[in-house]
Structure 1
Amino acid sequence: MLLIAQFLFLLLMLYIGSRKGGVGLGVISGIGLLIEVFIFRMTPTSPPVTVMLIILAVVTCASILEAAGGLKFMLQIAERVLRRNPKHITLLGPLVTYAMTFMLGTGHSVYSVMPIIGDIALKNKIRPERPMAAASVASQLAITASPLSAAVVYYLTQLGGIDSTITLASILGVSIPATLLGTIILSLYSMRRGVELEDDPEFQRRMADPITRKQIEETTATSLDEILPASARHSVYLFMAAIATIVLVAMMPELRTIAGKAIKMDAIIQMMMLAFGGLMLLLTNTPVKKVPEGVVFKSGLVAAIAIFGIAWMSDTYFQHAMPVFQSSIKDMVNQHPWTIAFAMFTVSVVINSQAATARMMLPVALGLGLSPQLLIAIMPSVYGYFFIPNYPSDIATCNFDSTGTTKIGKYYFNHSFMMPGLIGVISACCIGYVLASIII
């Protein structure tokens, strides 16, 4: 009974933190950690230093890319693709946000491209909810496919230490096609969701107001009217070179073996991101003071602080409760191993972070004796925070849709992101299960 009460306390701290969001989630988890240690007398575990350093290294390099104009350059390429194929915006929009997250390791780039997706849909009389909600979900689903994401690297360091045959290539060989196909499936579903734009009552209500009608008809969101310096293009080339170098080193262990000992991939990623960030800063002559002013830097720092508190508090509880968990639920998990995906999904709903969910639940799953093959297959289940529509990208997407079709419903859970999210995660896990049995 005491462990159950302590678990409910853990959920309460996560819930209170989630209501504050961002940094609040991390520091309120610190309160929970303090109570766990000094009142519940749990032995504190180590803070999630590795995950935090990966996030900080990737965010630093991506922030320099943003300051150099590289993100705008990528956005202009994406916009040209979308505007050349406006009728296919519901399929191409999610693929664009998926690709940007894949390259950057973070879904926060969605803020820049979402107004463009909405504008293209509106100008072509396509219900904006269709591409916008799907694009928001796709931007988060791609995190488990990015070689730069903290969730993927944490999986690699934990599972690679158990089974030396598990490499970055084997993990991405499952997660990339699984999440990409999941994105395509949720996009295909979105093509016919909801009534047509001209039949939507909320859109008609807004168009009845002359001021709102003028704003909707005359506002155009675009990035193509800005002339970028050559340094913007060069910064993107350098960032892509960093990704290619990381993948190359991961696939060729001899490159990272010194004195007979292999350097861990988490350290490789940290070194590469810092080094290429430095090269980018020097070769593009980007002012250092612009780096911390961008959206990527601020969002990444907030994510690191949130994970700091969440993962430390959660890990302390689960390490304390692990002996009881192993004896009480091991039989159930052994009979139905896939049920661990529900646990991961549920945790993600509460803590709004895939890296923190992986850091919290992967040791539990390994402690229960689950195979690395299964855990790679169900990796997309660490994305469940679309379920409660309070994640920043989902809220921003609703705000960017001037027609009101992308929304949080009257009953809170009947929102625009629910079905695309469920379809994307479930299909990605199912496809991943098949691929993992073949590849790993």
Structure 2
Amino acid sequence: MLVLQFLFLLLMLYLGSRKGGIGLGVVSGIGLVIEVFVFRMPPTSPPVSVMLIIMAVVTCAAILEAAGGLKYMLQVAERILRNNPKQITLLGPLVTYTMTLMLGTGHAVYSVMPIIGDVALKNGIRPERPMAASSIASQMGITASPISAAVVYYLAQMSGVDHSITLLTILGVLMPATLCGVLVLSLYSMRRGVELEDDPEYQRRMQDPLWRDKILSTTSTTLDETLPASARNAVLLFLTALGSIVLIAMFPEVRTLNGHAISMSVIIQMMMLAFGGLILLGTDTPIARVPEGVVFKSGMVAAIAIYGIAWMSDTYFQYAMPSFKAGITEMVHAYPWTIALAMFTVSVVINSQAATARMMLPVAMGMGLPPQLLIGIMPSVYGYFFIPNYPSDIATCNFDVTGTTRIGKYYFNHSFMVPGLIGVVVACTVGYLLAGLMI
């Protein structure tokens, strides 16, 4: 019966993923109701803390976007890329990785991807090389960001088990691990595929007058727009917020009141809301712009998706764990890497790193797995590149007017598969080694 109920869980996740976005959350709500009233599973608590973290971070980042700060960051990134065009396959992924690390979300990739494609095309570089790598790198930055929901959730759970584990402990493992993954996948990408002029799809499009005109006339830039000084000030304030969070994490006595330490998840919520207010007041940003931006919309959609997914999944696993804990624990202890494979597989289905962490980390901790292992293999919560239906991957294909970045004939042989596998495997390997030395 538990197996059938698990298959039902996967079915609900699959149906939700077909709708995407908010659909993941509300379809999971159907699954939750059936679990409780048909399968008679006691409902667990909804993932309130994760949702509040997402809302706080997204609100601050959305105010930054409305104040012109995101456009300012894009202009800085574009200058770096255009000043070093021959290194676009290496620099493009580093730019998208850094932006995600700073913002806590990979959705900024939509703004920078056309620029990466434009630089590659104008320098005769196969656009697939930097564009596919940059899309993967933008998502890998989530597990290295101090303000991402996935990292903060990990911190809350791990510090509860071992008080010596701090935000700096986790970032000290995951930042170098994911950066190694990004560098290796970028080096691989520098030589992947045939050269642009030899690509059959590119040649076919150049024979089509409409495509030829579109390819030759493509220009995407943010440098022709003059931004107010408030845009730069917004970025400085946002960077100050990140620095403040790191400093508070470094000095626990700052957040200790009456002998009790305030959790870092609460600190992050407080700092994001406070600096969102400072950016709003300091730049005189019209409040009506905030909910209109890409960051706010995509972030709030993610919060609703996690709301339903995590609640439905947690209800099942809390109910089923006593029955199959022994068998799974024995397998995982014999082959520790299998927990990483399990996290990766779940991520393929639910398209969210935070939701994957919220769903699988309590299961892994319930098996008694050591914190070193769980932190080291955290990059495995990114597996949704495997099926090419994630918005940033689809958008990347559409941004590449040459057609070199594509979904293959056999669906799984797409442009993101090999860079994604390389990035995640390298990050997990390096992370596991570093965690063993540092924790």
- TM class, shorter-length: over 0.9
1:400 aligns with 2:404: no
1:260-339 aligned within 5 A: 260-339=259-338
State the partner residue of 2:123.
124
| Matched residue, 2:349 | 350
Matched, 1:189 2:188: yes
Q: TM-score, normalised by structure 2?
A: 1.00
**TM-score normalized by the length of structure 1:** 0.99
Structure 2: tracts of 5 or more residues without a match: none
1:32 is aligned to 31
Paired amino acid for 1:61: C
> How far apart, in 2, do the equivalents of 1:45 and 1:63 lie?
31
Once the two structures are superposed, residues 191-237 of structure 1 have per-residue CA deviations (whole angstroms, 9 ceiling, x without a partner) of 01010000001000100012221111112000000000001000000
Deviations 1:60-118 (A, max 9, x none): 00000000000000000000000000000000000000000000000000000000000
Question: C-alpha distance in 2, partners of 1:331/1:82?
Answer: 49
Q: What do the CA deviations read for 1:135-161 (whole angstroms, capped 9, x no partner)?
A: 000000110000010000000000001
Q: Counterpart amino acid of 1:269? A: I
Match of 1:409 in 2: 408
Partner of 1:223: 222
> What are the residue-to-residue correspondences of 1:137-156 with 2, within 5 Å?
137-156=136-155
**Which amino acid in 2 is paired with 1:35?**
I
Q: Which residue of 2 aligns with 1:170?
A: 169
Q: Per the alignment, in what secondary structure is the counterpart of residue 136 of structure 2?
A: helix
CA distance in 1, matches of 2:415, 2:336: 31
Structure 1 residue runs of 5 or longer lacking an equivalent are none
- Cα deviations by residue, 1:354-375 (Å, 9 ceiling, x for unpaired): 0000000000000011001100
The correspondence of residues 8-157 of structure 1 with structure 2, limited to 5 A, is 8-157=7-156
- Which amino acid in the other structure matches residue 21 of structure 1? G
* CA apart distance, 1:328: 2.0
For the residues of structure 2 that align with 1:201 and 1:338, how far apart are their CA atoms? 40
Partner of 1:159: 158
Distance of 2:420 and 2:318 partners within structure 1: 31
Aligned length: 439
| Distance (Å, rounded) in 2 between the aligned partners of 1:177 and 1:422 | 17
| Amino acid in structure 2 at the alignment position of 1:242 | A
User: What is the CA–CA distance in structure 1 between the aligned matches of 2:401 and 2:333, rounded to whole Å?
Assistant: 49
- Where 1:219 maps in the other structure, the secondary structure is coil
1:259 maps to amino acid: N
Aligned AA (1:350): V
Amino acid aligned to 1:116: I
Amino acid at match of 1:426: V
Q: Could you list the per-position Cα deviations for residues 115-141 of structure 1 after superposition, in whole angstroms to 9, with x for gaps in the alignment?
A: 000000000000000000000000001
CA distance in 2, matches of 1:181, 1:242: 26
**Identity %, equivalent residues:** 77
Give 3-state SS (helix, strand or coil) of 2:42's partner.
Answer: coil
What is the alpha-carbon distance in structure 2 between the residues aligned to residue 284 and residue 373 of structure 1?
43
Render the CA deviation track for 1:325-378: whole Å, top value 9, x for unaligned.
212221111112221000000000000000000000000000011001100000
Residue identity in the other structure for 2:133: A
- RMSD of Structure 2 on Structure 1 (CA): 0.5
Match of 1:424 in 2: 423
1:376 aligns with 2:375: yes
SS of residue paired to 2:359: helix
